[in-house]
Amino acid sequence: MKWFQGVNTIQELRKQYRTLLKKYHPDNNEGGSLEVTQEINTEYDALFATFSKEDTDGWNPYTQEENERFKAVLNEIINFNMEIEIIGSWVWCFDAYGVVLQVN
């Protein structure tokens, strides 16, 4: 594994995925790359498939459908200027700082 070395659970996988996506997402003008993001997604999906067979939190089993929703939400909000933590269906945002929105 190139991008997720030392990752052993879905929780660790998702934390590392958020970190990598924030750095390499194509919308990031400071080092973002579609090719790298595709590599990260491929490796993430393979590990998720492996971990989801053996790793549940006892309350909410990890499914492919739930995983696709997780990735979709993360891709929408990854470039917001704040710390983001996703716990189940909750999105927690911390350390937000001024964002200027322009409405046309």
Per the domain annotation, does 3 fall within a domain? no
Chain segment 41-89, per-residue pLDDT in tens? 999 999 998 888 765 555 556 788 888 888 887 787 777 766 777 666 6
Taking the model in full, what pTM does it have?
Answer: 0.66
Domain that holds residue 75: 10-94
- pLDDT, position 39: 95
Classify residue 102: in a domain, yes or no.
Answer: no
Q: Tell me how many domains the chain contains.
A: 1
Residue 57's nearest CA partner among 11, 17, 91 is: 11
**Domain-embedded: residue 101:** no
